[in-house]
Amino acid sequence: MKTTRVNTKKNGTAGKFTTSAEQAEHSTRIPQDGPPVFPQLPDPIMMVPKLPEELLRLPLERQLELEKLFPLKFYSLDAGCYLVRFNPTGLSYHYDGTIRVQRQGSNTIASGDLYQHNPIQIWPLPTIPVIKGGILTPQNDASFFLGEPNPANGIPVFARSRYRYYLRITQILESISLSNTFTLGFEMWKFNGVSASPMWTKEAAGPYQAQMTFGTAPAGYPAGADYLTGTVRNAANVAVGTITMGRVSSYLRKATVEIDRVSASEAPLDSGAGHGWQSIFDSVKWQLNVVTSNADVAEPSGNSWSDGEMHAAMLARRDSSNLDSEWRYHVLAVKNIDSTPRGIMYDTGGTDSNNVPREGIGISSHWVIPNTATWGKVKGQRFGAAKAPYFRTALHEIGHAMGLYHNTVDMGIMNTTDVISASAVPPTQFPDNIKWAHAADDQKRLMHMPDVFVRPGGVSFGTPYSTHPLSPDDAHEEAVGLEMHVLPVQEVLPIGAPVRLEISLANTAPYPLPAPDSLAMKYGCVSGRVIDPSGTVRTFKTIMLCVDEVQLRYLEPGEQLTDSLTLLRGAEGALFPSAGSYTVEVEVSWDMNGGHVGVSGQAHLFVTTAQTKSHARAALQVLSTPDTLLSMVFTGDHLLEGNAAIQAALDDKVLRPHYAYLEAKRLAQPFKKRKANLNAVADLLDAETVMSTGEIRKCTKLVKQADAGNGNGDASHDGDAPSRIAGVLRAKTEAHADTDSMTATLVALS
């Protein structure tokens, strides 16, 4: 994995240079401030034995044989993956997930993950026809949409957005017992979001315990599967819910590795000496499905590929994949890679075109191995023809995609190829000194780190986040049938300009659906976040919450609500503080039937750098002045600092079109003894003025009110000012949708 440019530095020998980043998998070092802080991994569990120590020293297989010799019932917990369900007391939702049980000699290590699940019908579901007694009968079957995981399908996969808790298990059944119960002890670590600080919070009511009892597994589980139930109690011994766990696989996790290649490149399938993908991952108890798919991927610009070209090829050529229903990692074998000789995990941070981190790697088959002694048996060979190091590099890069960093503790998978080749001790030659396994600490990470750390599309690789996203809501349900659309008024705009968005909520279902009566931010149902070029997340919501609760009404099929947003600052400061590409996510959410319902959409835009010194100074002032936002929202002559910042923008020819309406909005309204001044408004607004549909509508209303007040002393203007303004606004309505309702007013003003 390459993340640094080649830099040469002089060593202690005169005239001799070494490179600090010339070798192939360069990579992936942990940032100085460290990766995201995760819960401490579970330790081997040492329990007080319930059987004589002499018996416990016997191999587990021998212990189980005793059942046949003595009229006693022995209980043991098989290693593997358990489907788990946690039902909190008094809540309308529950958590599904997995618990992983690993045997390590005579000890056990266990961990788990929980995902939120809403079994109740919060959102109205369509009527589904079913056959009952030979008669076609319509019914609303919530389980059709919100069904529980099926144990017959083996290890379950859950949607990433539903991830809630990591379970650090501190007590579990060791070896065998004469009792059909045991104590399950665990800590619950709340996942606050990829951008939150802290990312994890340990629940203060814990640690938790559950007295688990062996029982008969329900239908769907493998024959003879361990199945247990128990009541969960907190540290105060108060019952807080129930938990069930049933074994569904001898493996702990499962994933798919898809391998695509250009026609001249080999697929990295094995070492040529008996080591394949599944045999490597058997040691970490991953069930791996390797798919060799496209063997004729076209080269976009010659035989050397950029990271972006590899990512685009993955999106275009990989088999249909949904990372919420399958952990799928993608390998693309090409002749050469622009940024590194051998291999790379190219989407570390989810800042690529589909904003998904850690899903793809590239490997170079036509790199020529140096013809030096350190490369042993493969020196001078083309990389794809040297099966062992070629396959090892693919394993190494997939390790990065699974969240692992470089590990030089041994000659294992996460060490780098150049280090391993240089470490061969005669008579052993490279690649015979490769250890075909992950280091012990990496094995533990692959088996027991939280799902969001190892699964594709989880947390970004090695990147610490310091700002908070929108917090997940455990009772949140997706508003199926409603779609949120977000469209920027300008996709490219100068730094310092506010971002204007047109938003719409549309009913795409063939039946009416409930929705808020308004998308105005003042009602509190519209909020969102902005993701900047570095991946930093900044949030926004209304600073002026209307005391009236938003009313719900039914949207008819095909009907839509529309409104506009103007964004500049949020809770963390300026939303668009630097040049580059931004993603804006807008969410509409509301309470309904005791739950929380919502739908979201997003848009992409680009902020350009300062064009002149004047532009730079004005942008700095508006972005660094908190009251700029207050002047935009509330207006008023009393907001001196905010108004001064807007005036600085008006004095700059680059920013003037973006702030002209904001000043016009202030002047079109009387403030204390100052009258509304439509003459000044008419002088501000012209064809270059940037306005959203909502701002055009608001301006039309203000001008109409000011014109009506011209005779009673609330306004003062020349007779042609309203018509001049109306002419500008009428021209702008042609560039916007849903402005027919303003036309009559504008014609009258003209």
| Same domain, yes or no: 306 and 241 | no
Distances (CA, A) of 428 to 53, 91, 377, 579, 611: 44, 62, 10, 54, 62
| Same domain, yes or no: 563 and 688 | no
Residue 454 belongs to some domain of the structure: no
Strands 336-337 and 573-574, sheet pairing = unpaired
| Same domain, yes or no: 622 and 586 | no
- Number of domains, the chain: 4
What is the model's pLDDT at position 551? Answer: 73
What is the model's pLDDT at position 121? Answer: 59
CA distance 40 to 448: 10
3-state DSSP assignment of residue 76: strand
Residue 458 belongs to some domain of the structure: no
Residue 459 belongs to some domain of the structure: no
Quote the domain boundaries for residue 321: 8-30+252-438
Burial code (b: 16+ CB inside 10 Å, e: under 16) for 582-617 equals: bbbbbbbbbebeebbbbbbbbbebebeebeeeebbe
CA distance 633 to 4: 44
Runs of H (alpha helix) within 318-413: 387-401
| Same domain, yes or no: 341 and 416 | yes
What is the model's pLDDT at position 84? Answer: 97
For 63, how many CA atoms within 13 A lie in the half-sphere containing its CB?
21
Q: Select from 419, 438, 457 the last residue of a domain.
A: 438
Q: How many CB atoms lie within 10 A of CB 533?
A: 14
Residue 299 belongs to some domain of the structure: yes
Residue 84 belongs to some domain of the structure: yes
Q: Select from 386, 419, 438 the last residue of a domain.
A: 438
Structure tokens at 741: 């309702």
CA distance 497 to 568: 8
Distances (CA, A) of 346 to 306, 311, 358, 453: 9, 8, 8, 17
Q: Which residue's structure tokens are 């997340």?
A: 537
The DSSP 8-state label assigned to residue 320 in this structure reads: P
CA angle 465, 470, 475 (to 5 degrees): 130
CA distance 192 to 205: 17
* H/E stretch holding 418: helix 417-422
Residue 451 belongs to some domain of the structure: no
Q: 232 and 241 in contact (C-beta within 8 Å)?
A: yes
Q: What sign results for the dihedral spanned by CA atoms 35, 37, 40, 41? A: negative
Tens digit of pLDDT for each residue in 334-357? 998 877 788 877 665 544 445 567
What is the model's pLDDT at position 655? Answer: 96
Q: Select from 207, 223, 249 the last residue of a domain.
A: 249
| Same domain, yes or no: 244 and 288 | no
- Beta bridge partners, 478, equal 598
3-state DSSP assignment of residue 717: coil
* H/E stretch holding 529: strand 526-531
The DSSP 8-state label assigned to residue 609 in this structure reads: P
Backbone angles phi, psi at 307, to 5 degrees: -60, -40
CA 397 to chain centre: 21
3-state DSSP assignment of residue 290: strand
What is the model's pLDDT at position 469? Answer: 23
What is the model's pLDDT at position 517? Answer: 87
CATH number at residue 590: 2.60.40.2970
CA distance 72 to 495: 77
What is the model's pLDDT at position 4? Answer: 29
Residue 723 belongs to some domain of the structure: yes
Residue 550 belongs to some domain of the structure: yes
CA distance 309 to 316: 10
CATH number at residue 349: 3.40.390
Positions of the chain with pLDDT lower than 70, given as ranges: 1-38, 45-72, 105-106, 119-147, 301, 307-308, 346-356, 461-477, 523-524, 542-550, 591-596, 709-717, 735-750
- Beta bridge partners, 189, equal 166, 202
| Same domain, yes or no: 88 and 201 | yes
| Same domain, yes or no: 271 and 375 | yes
| Same domain, yes or no: 529 and 546 | yes
Q: How many CB atoms lie within 10 A of CB 718?
A: 12
First CA to last CA distance, the chain: 65
CA 55 to chain centre: 49
For the entire predicted model, the pTM comes to: 0.60
Distances (CA, A) of 559 to 481, 483, 506: 12, 11, 6
CATH number at residue 176: 2.40.128.120
* H/E stretch holding 23: none
Tens digit of pLDDT for each residue in 705-728? 877 766 555 566 677 888 888 888
What is the model's pLDDT at position 540? Answer: 85
Burial tier of 47 (Cβ tally within 10 Å: 0-12, 13-18, 19+): middle
| Same domain, yes or no: 640 and 675 | yes
| Same domain, yes or no: 639 and 736 | yes
Tell me which amino acid residue 153 is.
Answer: N
Strands 482-488 and 499-507, sheet pairing = antiparallel
Strands 573-574 and 75-76, sheet pairing = unpaired
Query: 421 CB contacts (<8 Å, ≥6 apart)?
Result: 374, 375, 376, 389, 430, 431
Q: 226 and 200 in contact (C-beta within 8 Å)?
A: no
| Same domain, yes or no: 558 and 623 | no
| Same domain, yes or no: 184 and 274 | no
656-667 vs 640-650: helix axis angle to the nearest 10?
Answer: 140
